[in-house]
Amino acid sequence: MKSAVLAIDFGTSNSAAAVLVDGQPRRLAIEATADTLPTAVFFPADRGPMRVGAAAGQALIDGDEGRYMRALKSILGTSLFHEPRQIGGRRRTLSEIVTAFLRHVKHQAEAQAGMVFSRVLSGRPVHFHSADPARDARAEGDLRACYAAAGFETVDFLFEPEAAAQTRRGQSPQGEIGLIVDIGGGTSDFSVFREARGRIEILASHGIRLGGTDFDQEVSVAHVMPLLGLGGTLRRSLGDGVLPVPNAIYRELATWAKIAFLYARDTERFVDDLLKHATDPQAITRLRDVIYDHLGHELAFAVERGKIAANAQGVRTAIDLAFVERGLRAPITAGSLNASLAVFSPPLRAAMYETLVQAEVSPGQIGSVILVGGSSLMGLVRREVQMVCPTARLEHADAFTAVVDGLALATAEH
């Protein structure tokens, strides 16, 4: 008799686990009583044990000394994934950290289910990296190796939008063609499917490396980073005139996966030099404080909250930056949010059209579009979907658990 297969949705922002029980997915509370676990870790400076999920976020909020890390999935397939760095009192690779995270998920799932899992069916994006098959293959190889190191003997993968499509059994008219639009933290994935005699037939799947963390980055660069000196000028050390403030550090500070690596002495020296030559020393002082006080992740969380508020309320609000400087706020409106995200409209639209082309169906043949993933709640996504498939019904799946539920259903065939 085959052992049960654990379904794991290892996400850029959140992860989840489930098992199939009597033909139905049963989500496992791998974080207290929650269905999902933030994909985040914290390494205390005193070399204490790694904290995972909400505990990692709480350590950051409490101001504990240490290294907070999030969005590790986006590093899969890159050389950075295997590069040793000083983290939590010793040299570690991101591969070791992801392995430790998955080992934690396995342990928690086993405790909840009361059984040992040696087999895993993991979700994966259609493409970890757009238009780079070699790096894409390395990314899956990296993740497979982490699962194996975490204690799984058999590791299988299923595209995340195809997993989400499994939850549509019996939800649509027989023979109707649907489109899954899964916008996660790091990728956007699409599947065209058709329900036929109680089974889900996948007609085509496609994806691009674009997700909620990219949305956060552009919102941060447009609204927050100018308050830290982006777009400013520097006095020349020799001669007259000014030079633009380099923008690379701001891009990295606005990128979830890179924030932790800015907390280094060479970055501090760089910022000190910027301050020495700044024509707007107040703005660069804020940047210095963020780097020296390790406030980058607090900044990113504030941007994320501001993005969600502006998207949901459709009115003027502000990103609260009082933790950087008393009373500091970055205004954000639905209009300024849309303007900062406008650059993503063409690639999202093109990816949906490409999926339809691969499936050999026209937009008019799509009866329903199902939105999956936390970032699918953005107004930008809804507008692009309606532009591509104007006659389709627009439905919302459970944004954060549709993939893991579908993976659990798919374990019946593994």
Radius of gyration, CA atoms only, the chain: 22
Q: pLDDT tens digits for the chain (414 residues)? A: 357 999 999 999 999 999 999 999 999 999 887 889 999 999 998 888 999 999 999 998 888 889 999 999 999 999 989 999 888 888 899 999 999 999 999 999 999 999 999 999 999 999 999 888 999 999 999 999 999 999 999 999 999 999 999 999 888 788 899 999 999 999 999 999 998 877 899 999 999 999 999 999 999 999 999 999 999 999 998 778 899 999 999 999 999 989 988 999 999 999 999 999 999 999 999 999 999 999 999 999 999 999 999 998 767 899 999 999 999 999 999 999 999 999 999 999 999 999 999 999 999 999 999 999 989 989 999 999 999 999 999 998 887 899 999 999 999 987
Residue 89: the pLDDT is 82
Q: Is the dihedral of CA 275, 69, 396, 178 positive or negative?
A: positive
Is the Cα dihedral 304, 55, 73, 226 positive or negative?
positive
In the numeric block, the tokens 């026209």 are attached to 362
What pTM was computed for the model?
A: 0.93
Please say whether the beta carbons of 164 and 402 come within 8 A: yes
Which backbone phi and psi does 240 adopt, to 5 degrees?
-90, 175
Q: What is the largest CA-CA distance in the chain?
A: 79
Q: What are the structural domains of the chain?
A: 5-161+404-413 (3.30.420.40), 174-396 (3.30.420.40)
The pLDDT of residue 237 is 81
Q: Where are the beta strands (DSSP E) in 131-255?
A: 154-159, 177-183, 188-196, 199-208, 233-235, 242-244
| Alpha-carbon span 134 to 227, nearest angstrom | 39
